[in-house]
Structure 1
Amino acid sequence: MTGTTARRGLRLPLAWSAPGFPRLAGAWVATNLGDSALYLMIAVWVKELTGSDIAAGFVFVALGVPAILAPFIGMMADRMPRRRLLVINNAVLVPVLLSLLLVSGAEQLWLVYAVMVVYSAAGYVTGSAQSGIIRAMLRDDQLASGNGVLSTIDNALRLVSPLIGTALYVWLGAPAVIVATAACFGVAAVVVAGLPVGAAAPVREARRGYFHELAAGFVQLFSPQSLRVVTIAVAIGFGATGLLNIVVFPALDAMHADPAAIGVLVPIQGAGAVLGGVLSATLVTRWGEGRTAALGLLLVAAGSIPWAFGSVVAGAAGMFVLGLGIPLTVVAFATLRQRLTPDALQGRTGAAANVVINVPQTLASVVGAALLAVVDFRVLIWVSVVAVVLGAATALLARRVALVQPAAA
């Protein structure tokens, strides 16, 4: 369903026939296998080390801080050979993550936050470099399929990684999860080293001044009408979900559930996201990026509502619906951005896209963490729902841009 082609009697995603794409997908498996387990474990670990919902919530704030470096990271991805950058990035994460083994109590909480900042910055590097590699690897008609496959991999691992991470955490403690995650990034470094594209640095555009070049990714995001509208919609919708990151643990308390229960609920979100990833390319192709992004945001809003009612069963159902919506919006946005952006700007535009999502999300998390002390968490959920619906309505205003079809053989 993510755009298919026949090969030896099997129907494979259209992007799978592109040289190097299966290897890229393999690297994506390795990084996301570790990432999904670590992402959840860190917040639970901080909660147990400190007993504080706010301290746990600030893990997500730390993850958002590197957004201020994104323009510089994007420029680096447009100047360096992107394959080499991915290898270095994954390799450096190994010792950085292993430094978490030094944490033994709340006194070292600063180290957890510091590692999360570096870890998040590395995510920006991956996103910026990989955007250019995908664009160089895939034709226009393969982009939605490729993004759908990568989204499906990402979210399918939410079904198993949190369970593995939770089991390791309960059985062997945080060090086991940390070592496993570091090993995954080491494997990814080896795999991406063999990619057939990205060996040479992108061709640079004419020099127009350092700050102009630094901001070029943002300029590109807001130049084409369709890309501008979807960017604004995603910034509003996904930005508002920063409030949901903060209310997770109070909501679990209201459900009388242990904080570690998040390791069970997130795989349910992953089940919905797998379905969303599988459907995403078909919907983008038939409906266009704007309408697909709008549908995804509406599903995110609908899936957030049950968390306001203090029921584990309702919360689990909401996680499935929320998971279904996220990849629809992500794939639609990524495909439109990659299609309309020149190769020389892929890194900066990819980084800028992360900024317009993560900065509002981080600000919402900061405000939410402050308000959590004086406002009932349910109020924050309803504010998030209203904002996400507003984002969906905005996405519907985007004009559809035709695909560039491959030349006939």
Structure 2
Amino acid sequence: MSALSDSRFRRLLVGQSLSSFGDSALYLSLGIWAKDLTGENSAAGAVFLCLSLPVLLAPFAGHIVDRLRRRPLLIAVNTVAGLGVLALFGVRSEADLWIIYTVAFGYGLSFILLRPAQIGLIKEILPGEDLAGANAAIRTIGEGTRLLSPLAGAALYTAVGGHMLAALDALTFAVAVVVLAGLRVRESAPTPPQTREPFLREITAGAAQIARTPLVAFTTVAVAASFAVIGLLDTVDFAVIEFGLRQPPSFFGVLMSIQGAGGICGGLTVAAMIRRYGEARTVGAGLLLGAAGTALLAVPSLPVVIAGFALIGCGVPWLVVGYTTAWQRSTPQQILGRVAAAADLFTVGPQTLSIALGAALIAAVDYRILLAVCCGVLMLSGTVLLRRSPQLTTV
């Protein structure tokens, strides 16, 4: 049985795809908006910092997800996020930059709840052997929307500004709510209050589960090291566009679409990679592709930079799907939200710090030096993962 043969997963995938289209069209354009308002690359990088900061609250979000049924929680969060994004209608000048940052932060809060809740809901719908295919389908469709949405978002932003993008994203949140409301899933009951453990132990249960699962623990260390430098790219990308390619900030949307095209290739092949080589080696291969792509960004040539973004895009699904499948398959449903939150904290947490570092360094350090650091760490982490693949125990 494949994931796509389940009608409930297909409906969830359609709703997720439409929502992802609106999300990526808007939040990738928020950086362009901030750059246009201020003229500073660091202002664009700060948008992605705001998007990532809420991951520090991920353990608490995972605790909430494991204490509630997933479908009603997804409906509530999508509703609140759709209303919150409309605050962007108040942005008129540089003085309103704080609204962009606030909405970006709100996006980040919604993501740390939506992601573990959706992962848990998918595991309720599908058997363990179909999870890699399900994750691959979600990632492939997501990359497909990124192929079109950055171009559409940048074009719409250039033509009429960010306010129409906000309206579009609010509409896609509404579509997601409608899809979820019509989904029929018999969910496992949350853990009864009388059987719960002390609060600190419950909050850290996700990290403890990762630590005692060899493949997940080993892969987490390598992925966390890589994400500790990947965040540099969120700011450096704008320097590559400005100094390397001599293009306006809106060209970021074009390059994100190129990365999305590479992501489709990665998404279509990742399930086969996992079946043949296992989760850890698939992640390692993805990191090596990212290292090669990052090295190409240092070359001031449009065709070479395009190839670099395509390679990075191809490597991302191998990294994300391989890692997600490893901990999703090996985790009991009762603590899946906390494991998802812990995995996000161990990856997006270091990424957040590197985004802040990139925004601080970009004005003083040549962007090519930052690219070299990122490339070196990705290459080292990928090589280490390819040399060892612990056994995965499926739950």
Q: Distance in 2 between matches of 1:58 and 1:248?
A: 13
CA RMSD after TM alignment: 1.5
1:61-76, aligned counterparts within 5 Å? 61-76=49-64
CA distance in 1, matches of 2:237, 2:185: 41
**What residue number does 1:401 align with?**
392
CA distance in 1, matches of 2:199, 2:260: 41
CA distance in 1, matches of 2:346, 2:393: 25
CA spacing shift, 1:198–1:88, aligned 2, 3 Å: farther
Task: Give the superposition deviation at 1:338.
Answer: 0.7
C-alpha separation in 2, matches of 1:215 and 1:394 = 27
Task: Say which of 215, 222, 228 aligns to 1:226.
Answer: 215
TM alignment of 1:130-141, pairs within 5 A: 130-141=118-129
Q: Normalising to structure 2: TM-score of the pair?
A: 0.96
Contact 2:278/2:389 (8 A) holds in 1: no
Unaligned runs of 5+ in 2: none
1:177-198 per-residue CA deviation (whole Å, 9 max, x = no partner) reads 1110111111101111222226
What displacement does 1:131 show? 1.3
Is 1:318 aligned with 2:308?
A: yes
Contact persistence 1:302–1:318 (CA under 8 A): yes
Instruction: Specify the SS of the correspondent of 1:279.
Output: helix
CA deviations over 1:18-67 (Å, ceiling 9, x no partner): 35101110111121111110121100001001111111110011111101
**Which secondary structure state, in structure 2, belongs to the residue aligned with residue 20 of structure 1?**
helix
- Residue 242 (structure 2) aligns with: 253
- The answer to whether structure 1 residue 193 and structure 2 residue 184 are counterparts is no
Q: Is the 8 A contact 2:20 2:142 kept in 1?
A: yes
Say which SS state the counterpart of residue 336 (structure 1) adopts. helix
5+ residue gaps in structure 1? 6-13, 405-409
Greater shift, 365-374 or 260-269, is seen at 365-374
Of 50-59 and 197-206, the range deviating more from structure 2: 197-206
Structure 1 residue 153 displacement after superposition: 0.7
Written as runs of structure 1 = structure 2, the 5 A alignment for 1:35-184 is 35-184=23-172
Going from structure 1 to structure 2, the CA distance change for 1:198 and 1:322 (only over 3 Å counts) comes to farther
Q: Select which of 361, 368, 382 maps to 1:371.
A: 361
Q: Distance in 2 between matches of 1:56 and 1:194?
A: 38
Partner of 1:213: 202
Partner of 1:243: 232
CA distance change for structure 1 residues 81 and 178 in 2, over 3 Å: closer, same or farther? same
1:322 Cα deviation from its structure 2 partner:
0.6
CA distance, structure 1, for counterparts of residue 119 and residue 255 of structure 2: 30
- Contact 1:297 1:388 survives alignment (8 Å): yes
Once the two structures are overlaid, the 10-residue window that deviates more, 300-309 or 230-239, is 230-239
Q: What's the CA shift for 1:200?
A: 5.6
State the secondary structure of the residue aligned to 2:391.
Answer: coil
Following TM superposition, by how much is the alpha carbon of 1:403 offset from its aligned partner in structure 2, in angstroms? 5.7
Matched residue type, 2:218: V
Deviation at 1:203, TM superposition (A): 3.5
Distance 2:192 2:379 in 1: 40
User: What corresponds to 1:8 in structure 2?
Assistant: none
SS, match of residue 70 in structure 1: helix
Aligned-pair CA distance for 1:402: 6.0
Mapped partners of 2:274, 2:370: distance in 1: 31
| Conserved? CA contact 1:230–1:394, under 8 Å | no
Q: Is the 8 A contact 1:133 1:198 kept in 2?
A: no
Paired amino acid for 2:35: K
Distance (whole Å) between structure 2 residues aligned to residue 163 and residue 69 of structure 1: 32
Once residues 221 and 384 of structure 2 are traced to their aligned partners in structure 1, the CA distance between those partners, rounded to angstroms, is 7
Counterpart of 1:40, as a letter, is L
How many residues in Structure 1 have an aligned counterpart in Structure 2? 392
C-alpha separation in 1, matches of 2:103 and 2:10 = 30
Distance 1:403 1:74, change over 3 A: closer
Counterpart residue identity of residue 346, structure 1: L
Divergent runs of 4+, >3 A: 198-201, 203-206
Deviation at 1:94, TM superposition (A): 1.5
Measure the CA separation in 2 of the matches of 1:343 and 1:199.
10
Instruction: Indicate yes or no: 2:271 matched with 1:281.
Output: yes
Cα-to-partner distance string for 1:91-138 (whole Å, 9 max, x where unaligned): 111221001100101111112111111111101111110111111111
Match of 2:382 in 1: 392
The farther-off stretch of 388-397 and 95-104 is 388-397
281, 299, 318: which one aligns with 1:291: 281
Larger relative helix fraction: 2
Letter in 2 for 1:29: S
Paired residue type of 1:372: I
Q: How much does 1:364 deviate?
A: 0.7
Q: 1:198 to 1:60 in 2, by over 3 A?
A: farther
Are 1:19 and 1:196, in contact at CA under 8 Å, matched by a contact in 2? Answer: no
TM value normalised by structure 1: 0.93
Secondary structure, aligned partner of 1:148: helix
2:294 to 297, 300, 304: 304
Structure 2 CA distance for aligned equivalents of residues 47 and 374 of structure 1: 18
Query: 2:271 is aligned with what amino acid?
Result: A
Conserved 8 A contact 2:263-2:310: yes
1:140 Cα shift? 1.6
